[in-house]
Amino acid sequence: MRGGHAFKEQREFIVALSGSFNVFVDDGIHKQSFSLNRSYYGLYIPCGLWRQMENFSTNALALVLSSTKFIESDYIRDYNAFLKYRREYEKQHI
């Protein structure tokens, strides 16, 4: 399992270069699971969504392309903090 987290600004594109794994995506209300198992398909994850990678097959290899360089302050690593962030985000964008 890969630890769950979200980004405030960063966007990602995830590809299974070999093997397979699942990516669970959560907007704070709805949750969806994606199975990645082809190197010619990928999953785009916009900012503001919680993601968690699980169920890696033997020798699975994930390629994660990022829209930005690493910025620690952009990470949300606690799920409850993520839910609070989403509530505040929704209030500002109504």
Kindly report the CATH number that applies to the domain delimited by 2-92.
2.60.120.10
pLDDT score for 21: 97
Domain map (residue ranges) of the chain: 2-92
What's the rounded Cα separation, in Å, for the pair 61 and 25? 19
**Average pLDDT per block of 10 residues along the chain, 94 residues long:** 86 98 96 97 97 97 96 96 91 70
CA triple 23-27-32, angle to 5 deg: 40
pLDDT score for 1: 52
Specify whether 93 is catalytic. no
Q: Which of 5, 11, 20, 25 is catalytic?
A: 5
pLDDT score for 72: 95
Rounded-to-10 torsion of CA 21, 27, 31, 36: -20
pLDDT score for 93: 67
pLDDT score for 3: 75
